Structure 1
Amino acid sequence: MKQEYQQFKQLLQEFLPAEQIISDPLRTLAYGTDASFYRLIPQLVLRPESEQAVARIVKLAFNHRVPVTFRAAGTSLSGQAITDSVLIQLKDGWKGYQIADDASRITLQPGVIGGHANGYLAPFNKKIGPDPASINTAMIGGIAANNASGMCCGTAQNSYRTLHSMKLILADGTSVDTGDSHSVTAFRKSHGSLLTALEVLALQTRDNAALRQRIEHKYRLKNTTGYALNALIDYRDPIEIMQHLMIGSEGTLGFISSITYNTVDEHPDKASALIFFPTVRITCEAVAILKKTPVSAVEMMDRAGLRSIENKPGMPDFIKQLPDDAAALLVETRAGCKDHLAEQVEQIKASIASLETVRDIEFTTDPQEYSKYWAIRKGLFPAVGAVRQTGTTVIIEDVAFPVDQLADAVHDLHQIFVKWDYNEALIFGHALEGNLHFVFTQSFDDQTEIDRYEGLMDDVATLVVDKYDGSLKAEHGTGRNMAPYVEKEWGAQAYALMWEIKELFDPHNILNPGVLLNRNAHVHLENLKPLPAADPLVDKCIECGFCEPTCPSRDLTLTPRQRIVIWREIARLEASHEDPERLAELRKEYLYQGIDTCAACGLCSTTCPVEINTGDLTRVLRSRNNERHTKLAQWLAEHYGGVMTASKVAFKGADLTHGLIGTKAMTAICDTTRKLSGGRVQQWTPAMPTAAPKINIHRPVTDPDAPKVVYLPSCASRAMGPARGDDEQTSLAEKTEQLLRKAGYQVIYPENLDQLCCGMPFQSKGMFEAADYKAAETEAMLLKATNNGEYPVFSDTSPCSLRLKDNTDQRIKLFDTVEFIHEFLLDRLVITPVDETVALHITCSTTRMGVGDKLKRIVAACVTNLVIPEQITCCGFAGDKGFSTPELNESALRSLRDDVVECTSGYSTSRTCEIGLSHHSGLDYKSIIYLLDRVSQPKLNADNRVPENKLIQHTNTEQ
């Protein structure tokens, strides 16, 4: 670390806790990475938890001339959120929100994810205006600071247009709340000169006819290039001018510590159509017509874009036969009721009925169907990322043209791609606003490639500005990438005005310097991010960060994106041999930061645009580290019954000790022992299970005509009983059998049950051979028990269900708890819901199997009130990580107790997860089997028999 930053760090330590000041090489690189194709490594990463702390940091930076950059989610694409100085990163302390009584406004801190904000507003049929494609990852701070828009909001509902007020911190550390009259009055006194200067600039701008007309003309389109100069002509109050200048300023004028939006209506009824046209020109003619109809979104996809997804599962075959100049429009319309929606659909269809289409226009109101259409549109960017060559990056640019010139603009862009040999480039975007994105792959390995990229960007700038007078950045923000072209787009006079604004707010140039405005004509070609080959499992990663909100270790160590960043750097250093000391340090630190604290839950793959499961990489690395234990793992696999017996003995011994000395003494002794052992002794908590009783697999058959189900209790269910003090002391296996019999089933257990395991305990540690051995052994027993697949299999633990589905003979019809209940038990039971508020944890495996919504419906049918904590994804218990690395479980569940304070109990579908959930919530978490059994009775037909099972009828038909 440079000397000046050492001194700055010492001053920070006077008021910031040590854990909020990060300077080690691994984490500064990991935390300093954003979604752009630039790389700068900060000297310091700070994670303050309050406005007061940020204000002190900024004031200190102002006094010592230390540049600072603000970072929320880091999904920005143009290099807005990177620095080689001080990065201020927002974490848990910035997720507060408040909704007005009539839901007409919502106040949000900058760390709130945009999708979560819409979730808070959903019960009121409201939402925030901005709707970027990254809304489920992007945070409000970045959405506002970049004036992000999206597919439906256009210019009428972006942050600039829907802003009510904000709290902000200026470069000198001063705070002001524009929604608080007392704060504004004080600010007018303390910063009267700033406000007067803004008034003068606004007056001069309005009086300058040419400049005013230029600004009005530029904002006829979506435009985020440079500062929001329209604030100078739209508003006269300098407070309003100031807060609207902050929108889109990319943290270069101040820090938005909270923002209040005017909300917009979220219409409940929607209809979408994917319309194919034979040529781009006809497609663009349709756009101009549709702009006058009640459409909420019109997304265009060119032929190259359609070609990139035509072979994906579920795509209709006719896409492959489309002509070379074909294009498509994804059209959506929304209404407050179904009748109005139907009228709008007919109006839209009639408006373009005279245009030639490849196929008939068909709108759908089925959410599953139109979600497929939107998945096609959203899949275009990752489709390029998934097929790019290793070592190249994916670049997405973002321009806007007048809608009436869209066809010519698309043609001209295609010609530029041909000129510079970007054959894979594709075009799509928000056609209704003339806003087009073009995506291409780029290598920066040599000067020839950099020169090619420069030529492309220069030609694009000339085309957009000189020929069409469009916008070089419509919604992705200026960043470093377009900073050299701001003057070209706006002209010398407006550009000089932007510099005046920057110097007025930030006279020492400490706020995100070099971003948005930069006199270096080649800044967009410098500090380019390397993407070396690291491992085929993760080489397709484009470092977008979409994975981060799902990761249980995101607040403890690293996220999937950051794990990949560090592993790529390790691979680069290994290949280059340039810095062996740094390589050794990164390898050493990565053991804990990257490997030990990864839950390997795979949730990252569910939000990754190219479906990367970073847990797969973690398991491979664990396998390499554990090679010397391969023989031991195989021995344990072959003697698994003994392992299970030993586990029960351990649980029984711990429980007996707990009963003798009490919870307080047991906790103290175990915590001390773990500390003295350096963490080698595993964690004990009062939620630790007792030993489960042995399962009686030879119960007499009471109804030989009853449908059969093979019940496979997981090894966790067979070993772990309820915790001491739980209100329900029946083991899960016993309770499950009771429920299945209640529903009229004859329960069959597979042979050698004590020996069986899905292999997950071995797989999670990278012991792949032992894991596969156990899965194969279980497969053989299940085939025998099911009569080669004639009977269904009920698996009571979701992680085990997921692994078995992926690793057993397809003849075995294996159902997870959720699936079996939802598809078959609900029809055979009468449920009387109880008046209770319960918590539900949806395990990572449940999410990955795609049955989370079914689980919600099951629990919602059993109780009157259901709470699903939104910040909790994977619980981080991860098999035995809750015992060996309890800080991962603690971090993942850090907000749980507050979220479930009104609940009486909690439910899930994994016994190990329930241990951590119980410990960190103060509730008794158990399987949903217990809840369903408690609220249900058998459903009898006229003969007082449970009705025939539709599953058995279905499978018999298949046979």
Structure 2
Amino acid sequence: MASQYHRLIAELQQFLPDNRIITDSALCLAYGTDASFYRLVPKMVLRLANTAEVIRVLQLCSQHAIHCTFRAAGTSLSGQAISDSVLITLTDDWRQHDISEQGKKICLQPGVLGADANKYLAPFGRKIGPDPASINSCKIGGIAANNASGMCCGTAQNSYRTLAGMSVVLADGTLLDTQDAQSRTRFAEQQPQLLAGLRQLHQEVTTNPSLADLIQHKYRLKNTTGYSLNALLDFADPFDMLAHLMIGSEGTLGFINDITYHTVPDHQFKASCLLVYSDIETTCLAVTELANTPVAAVELMDGRALRSIANNAGMPDFIKTLDDEAAALLIEVHGESAAQLQHSCEQAMAAITAFVPLNQVPFTQDPTVCATLWAMRKGMFPAVGAVRETGTTVVIEDIAFHVEHLAAAVRKLTSLFERFGYHEAIIFGHALAGNLHFVFTQGFDNQEERDRYGHFMDAVTQLVAVEYQGSLKAEHGTGRNMAPYVELEWGHEGYRLIQRIKALFDPNGILNPGVIVNADPKAHLNNLKPLPAADPLVDKCIECGFCEAVCPSKNLSLTPRQRIVLYRELQRRQANNEVIDDNLQQVFDYQGIDTCAATGLCEQRCPVGINTGDLIRKLRSARYQRFQSIARWSAGHFAGTTQAVAIGLNTAGMARKLLGSQTMTHLNQGLRKLSKNTVPLWLPTTPIANRHRPQGVDQGRSKVVYFPSCASRTLGQSPNAQDPRSLTKVTLAVLEKAGFDVIVPRDLNSLCCGMPYQSKGMPDLADDKSRELETHLWQASEQGRWPVLMDTSPCAKLSQDNFTRLLTVYEPVAFILDHALARLQLTPVPDTVMLHITCSSQRMGLADKMLQLAQRCASKVVVPEHIGCCGFAGDKGFTLPELNASALATLKQQVPNGCTRGISNSRTCELGLSHHSGINYESILYLVDEASQ
């Protein structure tokens, strides 16, 4: 077998670059991890950029009889996106979309994020039907391949029901576009046996009443167990059958190259309410009545689920008073108009007047209240994950019962939790569809625990599939953990049909073996993922991958999930006294530690609130220990340190004038190569030093304390800027126009927020500088009487987090909106402006406000897609420029014709943005100053 892989690699190298053929064992471990509780390590990971590459790879794998598995975002929970052979992933080139028929259809490539598809459709008042909870992170390829649904989707709006057509690549590399007549004709010539086989299966099913009845019964519920067998009943055209069988096939039948959806309305008017009842029976009876009303979603939460989030911020007070017998319904209603919404709410409440709630939050359209209610529901899965014992994993299963059986089934399921000792388990789900999720924690580190899990799953599957004829997998896909039970749900005849479909599409069995069709009755107990203790900062990680979409290093090195995977492996080996090979350590040093921007965007996406940057800074602390004395000297002589930087900037500026930018660039590149990249990168956008020294103003007006960051004090304006003034001058100009007197702290040049030291993993020095700054600002603000303006957002965010005194600290956007806007008369400048929302602004919740202010000041504002963190990360843009380049790789192509300027609120970020966009980025205060003239 090893020789087969060697031959495969040799052939792959003829058309794939080496950096997209990954065979390093450490990287294969990192890239091969998905959100499930299974672990397989691929022998190679391929990153493919287009359809031609997919076709060729499948042809080669088929030729060499090598198994392969497709991976989209890797948020799958059932083990369907892992491989011990070839794992095929996609580059960011698979993000194309095409909207037609005024938004009633959308064609999407598999790499498009689900949330992005809805963003594209929003101007048409439409959305895609599937609405999985992971929609901000999962990709269309995974949504379709798993037939993922969600809270409002039900069975009427899932991928199967809203499919208009798709193009697919089969196991032997055959390409079919079901919406193209020529492609269908060509496919009929290439694959006559497949089409004939589908017609035969259709004939057999339609003439077998018992099997047809079983299929129809199963799909009255949400059901993703096995293949979409209803395709054999719902359609007579083999091309329609083929396309619909691909939905929910989990990469076992072929590759979904693109998919076209019929979209659904995204109603503008929405209202939510929360009803709490004394017991599950009453709650489920209310669901039965609500099913006959125009409600969009009804989410059920049992008493233990409610208890798990009772102490979360914003929860209604009565949640804390409930016992485990209580249960709740979270209801959402949509309408095309306010009047229709009101009528639908009244209909829903009228239907359940016979059921008197213990407590309630009445129907409301208040966006804050609605967001809080839905955050309660979405917080239940992470609530269990956050309190689990280290070393255990969070298991989430999803099953479906007919609604009339819901109450009895919940009671029996709860009794199974007690019987098998899962006392922390909670139940919630999409009640209208009878779809329940149950979440519990499970250790797999000893045979007793594995046996407990196995016996529990045997009991659950008997309850669901046999006693209540329900669905073992409602929306998460069969995967590996339910594959041994597919025959239990479908019976021998149904399971045989599933096996024949697999053989028809993939006769050599190369696609995702072990998923859906698996002859091993204990497959769900094999290859269980270890989650060893590594560090309390990251031990709660459930490896869901929600963090990956916003990570700036995702296309250069590792994502937060992958960093944690490798760190866990390092710690596991160390704890077990195993040899840690140099390769694993070296890979982690560069890909894990060096290339992490540590800006914390991952924390915003993490369901258990992990900031992987905290771990990385801690690890950097040990690495940079030898530089502590130098760092401490610089902290104690900060004015001199920044003066030395200023001299360096001016020297470089003079050299540029003498030699020109091109020569300077070549010279710098040569020096970096000779020094093994220890010489910092020089950018053509690098400015000379800022010679301006801000002074206080006292004319008896309202006051503000202005603290210019060390970056804005040191860096002047970039060479290509239209406005040559430094940021400190512009800030004072805006404050003057707004009628503020300015207080500048004493000993300004010695002060720093601590960010340069924190990012290097030197928390003690960072805290020292932060406390020193806080003391000076406390004095300057007259003990917190006046607001403090910091002209860059990272400094403001760090200070807000660290300061202990009652100081009100602002970055530019929040200060202008809260204090200066009413004092300024803004006239939008007739320019198209690119807007970069920094990580710190996003973490402060200022993204919408930043856009709002920019739109008040410019005629058109463009926020580029998929540009989150810029990757400059303080000084990494100079010392590790590949991170900045990777994070901004798509920026330049998104700059509109005629656009010459960009805005942000971090001086160092603006240098990298300017370099990689080809236009000048500067503080948003420049735009405010210009618009207020």
Q: Structures share a fold, TM > 0.5?
A: yes
Which whole-Å CA distance do the structure 2 matches of 1:735 and 1:530 have between them? 55
Aligned pair partner of 1:847 in 835, 842, 845 = 842
SS in 1 for 2:704: strand
Q: Is contact 1:874–1:892 with CA below 8 Å preserved after alignment?
A: yes
One-letter code aligned to 1:932:
V
Residue 589 in structure 1 maps to residue 587 in structure 2: yes
Which whole-Å CA distance do the structure 1 matches of 2:574 and 2:324 have between them? 45
Query: Which residue pairs with 2:596 in the alignment?
Result: 598
Q: Is contact 1:655–1:724 with CA below 8 Å preserved after alignment?
A: no
Tell me how far 1:312 sits from its aligned partner.
1.4
Tell me how far 1:835 sits from its aligned partner.
2.5
Identity %: 55
Tell me how far 1:530 sits from its aligned partner.
0.3
Q: Is contact 2:603–2:611 with CA below 8 Å preserved after alignment?
A: yes
Query: Which residue pairs with 1:818 in the alignment?
Result: 813
Matches within 5 A, 1:500-539: 500-539=500-539
Q: Is contact 1:45–1:86 with CA below 8 Å preserved after alignment?
A: yes
Query: Which residue pairs with 2:652 in the alignment?
Result: 654
Query: Which residue pairs with 2:379 in the alignment?
Result: 379
How many residues align? The count is 932
Tell me how far 1:106 sits from its aligned partner.
0.6
One-letter code aligned to 2:903:
Y
Query: Which residue pairs with 2:709 in the alignment?
Result: 714
Tell me how far 1:101 sits from its aligned partner.
4.3
Aligned pair partner of 1:785 in 767, 780, 784 = 780
Q: Is contact 2:61–2:510 with CA below 8 Å preserved after alignment?
A: yes
One-letter code aligned to 1:202:
H
Tell me how far 1:523 sits from its aligned partner.
0.5
Which whole-Å CA distance do the structure 1 matches of 2:201 and 2:345 have between them? 47
Query: Which residue pairs with 1:685 in the alignment?
Result: 683
Tell me how far 1:809 sits from its aligned partner.
2.8
Matches within 5 A, 1:549-564: 549-564=549-564
Q: Is contact 1:736–1:929 with CA below 8 Å preserved after alignment?
A: yes
Which whole-Å CA distance do the structure 2 matches of 1:654 and 1:777 have between them? 32
SS in 1 for 2:716: strand
Residue 798 in structure 1 maps to residue 793 in structure 2: yes
Aligned pair partner of 1:870 in 865, 869, 893 = 865
Query: Which residue pairs with 1:155 in the alignment?
Result: 155
Cα deviation, 1:430-449, whole Å, max 9, x if unaligned, reads 00100000000000010000
Cα deviation, 1:290-329, whole Å, max 9, x if unaligned, reads 1111100000110000000101122222111113310111
Query: Which residue pairs with 2:612 in the alignment?
Result: 614
Q: Is contact 2:195–2:239 with CA below 8 Å preserved after alignment?
A: yes
Matches within 5 A, 1:565-584: 565-578=565-578, 580-582=579-581, 584=582
Which whole-Å CA distance do the structure 2 matches of 1:786 and 1:437 have between them? 53
Matches within 5 A, 1:714-753: 714-753=709-748
Tell me how far 1:797 sits from its aligned partner.
0.6
Which whole-Å CA distance do the structure 2 matches of 1:88 and 1:158 have between them? 25
Query: Which residue pairs with 2:628 in the alignment?
Result: 630
Aligned pair partner of 2:875 in 865, 877, 880 = 880
Tell me how far 1:724 sits from its aligned partner.
1.3
Residue 889 in structure 1 maps to residue 884 in structure 2: yes
Q: Is contact 1:465–1:471 with CA below 8 Å preserved after alignment?
A: yes
Cα deviation, 1:714-765, whole Å, max 9, x if unaligned, reads 0000000111121111000110011001100001100000011000001000
Residue 807 in structure 1 maps to residue 802 in structure 2: yes
One-letter code aligned to 1:296:
A
Tell me how far 1:659 sits from its aligned partner.
1.3
Q: Is contact 2:573–2:580 with CA below 8 Å preserved after alignment?
A: no
Q: Is contact 1:425–1:439 with CA below 8 Å preserved after alignment?
A: yes
Choose 311-320 or 42-51, whichever is displaced more: 311-320
Which whole-Å CA distance do the structure 2 matches of 1:718 and 1:656 have between them? 20
Query: Which residue pairs with 1:951 in the alignment?
Result: none
Tell me how far 1:668 sits from its aligned partner.
1.2
SS in 1 for 2:362: coil
One-letter code aligned to 1:105:
K
Which whole-Å CA distance do the structure 2 matches of 1:194 and 1:800 have between them? 62
Q: Is contact 2:231–2:244 with CA below 8 Å preserved after alignment?
A: yes
Q: CA RMSD in A?
A: 1.0
Residue 213 in structure 1 maps to residue 213 in structure 2: yes
Which whole-Å CA distance do the structure 1 matches of 2:693 and 2:609 have between them? 40
Q: Is contact 1:114–1:138 with CA below 8 Å preserved after alignment?
A: yes
Tell me how far 1:696 sits from its aligned partner.
3.7
Tell me how far 1:581 sits from its aligned partner.
4.8
Q: Is contact 2:692–2:729 with CA below 8 Å preserved after alignment?
A: no
SS in 2 for 1:154: coil
One-letter code aligned to 1:911:
R
Query: Which residue pairs with 2:758 in the alignment?
Result: 763
Distance 1:768 1:428, change over 3 A: same
SS in 2 for 1:830: coil
Q: Is contact 1:167–1:258 with CA below 8 Å preserved after alignment?
A: yes
Query: Which residue pairs with 1:953 in the alignment?
Result: none
Q: Is contact 2:384–2:441 with CA below 8 Å preserved after alignment?
A: yes
Q: Is contact 1:104–1:263 with CA below 8 Å preserved after alignment?
A: yes
Tell me how far 1:667 sits from its aligned partner.
1.2
Which whole-Å CA distance do the structure 1 matches of 2:204 and 2:106 have between them? 34
Q: Is contact 1:391–1:532 with CA below 8 Å preserved after alignment?
A: yes
Name the TM-score, length of structure 1 as normaliser.
0.96
One-letter code aligned to 2:692:
K
One-letter code aligned to 1:435:
N
Tell me how far 1:7 sits from its aligned partner.
2.1
Which whole-Å CA distance do the structure 2 matches of 1:209 and 1:698 have between them? 88
Q: Is contact 2:716–2:726 with CA below 8 Å preserved after alignment?
A: yes
Aligned pair partner of 1:914 in 900, 910, 915 = 910
Which whole-Å CA distance do the structure 1 matches of 2:130 and 2:143 have between them? 7
Aligned pair partner of 2:900 in 904, 913, 937 = 904
Residue 190 in structure 1 maps to residue 186 in structure 2: no
One-letter code aligned to 1:684:
W
Choose 805-814 or 612-621, whichever is displaced more: 805-814
One-letter code aligned to 2:907:
R
Residue 30 in structure 1 maps to residue 30 in structure 2: yes
Q: Is contact 2:720–2:920 with CA below 8 Å preserved after alignment?
A: no
Unaligned runs of 5+ in 2: none
Which whole-Å CA distance do the structure 2 matches of 1:161 and 1:885 have between them? 48
Tell me how far 1:360 sits from its aligned partner.
4.5
Residue 85 in structure 1 maps to residue 85 in structure 2: yes
Q: Is contact 1:349–1:361 with CA below 8 Å preserved after alignment?
A: no
Aligned pair partner of 1:665 in 660, 663, 666 = 663
One-letter code aligned to 1:917:
L
Cα deviation, 1:668-710, whole Å, max 9, x if unaligned, reads 11112112221111111111122111314255x3x22x10100
Query: Which residue pairs with 1:174 in the alignment?
Result: 174
Which whole-Å CA distance do the structure 2 matches of 1:504 and 1:125 have between them? 40
Which whole-Å CA distance do the structure 2 matches of 1:228 and 1:790 have between them? 66
Query: Which residue pairs with 1:41 in the alignment?
Result: 41
Q: Is contact 1:278–1:356 with CA below 8 Å preserved after alignment?
A: no
One-letter code aligned to 1:399:
I
SS in 2 for 1:94: coil
SS in 2 for 1:722: coil
One-letter code aligned to 1:682:
P
Query: Which residue pairs with 2:341 in the alignment?
Result: 341
One-letter code aligned to 1:445:
D
Runs (4+) of structure 1 moved beyond 4 Å? none
Unaligned runs of 5+ in 1: 938-959
Which whole-Å CA distance do the structure 2 matches of 1:817 and 1:926 have between them? 12
One-letter code aligned to 2:575:
A
Which whole-Å CA distance do the structure 2 matches of 1:45 and 1:542 have between them? 22
Name the TM-score, length of structure 2 as normaliser.
0.99
SS in 2 for 1:310: coil
